Chain A
Amino acid sequence: MIREFGWVDVLYLVFAMRWTLALTATAFIGGGLIGLVIAVLRVSRVWPLQAIAVLYVQAIQGTPLLVLLFVFFFGLSIVGLPVLPWIAAALAFSIYAGAFLGEIWRGALDAIPKTQWEAGSALGLGFGEQLRHVIMPQAIRMAIPPTVGFLVQLIKNTSLAATIGFVELTREGQLTTASTFQPFAVYLTVAFLYFLTCFPLTQWSRHLERRSYGPA
């Protein structure tokens, strides 16, 4: 059943991108929620909570994503969940993204001068109110460029989900290669599709970074 790598295959690859993007979106939302908690724990003034956040980030950032994927993939059956690549990938990538986003956002929160917290507390605002009304609105501006930068990493790294059989762009490329035997053309096309998705984001992130802090 060997056939030529043609436009139809390119179209299939383009369609497979929706799973790349779906996994990215899922991981970004899941990781965003985890990251928010991690960042807030880090700036909380309760050291056991800080320690939990530090351990989480260190452990996840010190483990290859591939290992996380496999641990979750094979761990699913142990906790009684169906062994589906989609579930394993969504969990592993959320947990991975949570560590990196948490660290990025903590950096942004830390970059706000201590005196801003203090001014809030001198006005009688509680920790949550200071965070919500004083610190976060300022930190968000700073956090956006590196967050977009990480989004690029996330998109690229979803390619690893191919290794547990999740059919996204890279896996579709492997399947196409198997039926056309034209790996060079196929993988170059795959790379190009990733580039088309990532490059604009990279540029946007750079643009945001250069933008100065003006009135809202």
Chain B
Amino acid sequence: MENNLLISIVNFIILLIAPFFVIGIIKKTKAFWGGRYGVSIMQPLWDFLRLFKKRRVISTTTSWIFSIAPIVVLTTTLCAGLFAPMIKGVSIVDVEAAFIIFSYVLGFGKFFALVGAMDTGSSFEGMGASREACFTTIIEPAFFIILASTIALSGNYNFSSITNLVQNWGSFGVLITIIAVIALLVMLLSECSRVPVDDPTTHLELTMIHEVMILDNSGVDLALCTWANGIKMVILMGLIANFIIPNDLSLALSGALFLLIIFVLALIIGTLESGIARFRMSHVFEFIFVMCSFALVVASLAAVKMFGV
């Protein structure tokens, strides 16, 4: 119990700080593949702090929705982070059916991100919002299928149901883990708006998704939005890590492995962004459907294992 409290505190600190380093590592990786020296890994953190000193510039069209949206996005992301398992599969709030609360709390944030973007009356931001809303519709069901399958397999209703597939189900668990991890990777790329779904460094508003939604945010609002997005990325990476890491490792080893996997995932994202271009908007939907089919495969595998059909 004492131990869990300590891990929870460490988890929360990771949740708050890791986003900057993850984004820093991604940028560094992209610089490496681009043959540039690149900015320091700490740069996102400095950017973040610098934004706090800046003045807010607000569109005259906007209402209080625009102003409150970044705060809602940040608080909900942090709140969702309380339910997600991190190091050693420990969630800060460990309850049954936590993944539903997790997704819906994130959904609340997404609702405000969308209306916040629409509040500016800009057609660019409307474009981004409509795409984001559209992609979410199919990510969520797939995520639910995967999590429900792990719950059915393990009989454990908590979020930690994803942690011990490999030990309990042997080679079968390995298979499920691989497919689930690929599906979650698609979710990660899409939810955190990375290539090939969305290019965060593009300069054309028409091709953006997430970046264009926060086009009119400035100063502290922009800082909160980017931070929230980074936290979401760390949470999802943490989920992937928990799928992979075996449960019976010692705390130190498990923690080190957790951080290593997040590091590797950042490298993978950086490499992907350097290696391939953004998909055409109409293909993005197809790409996200990959996650749905993989989720259904996970469910079928779980059914096969449970009922031996």
The yes or no verdict on A and B being binding partners is: no
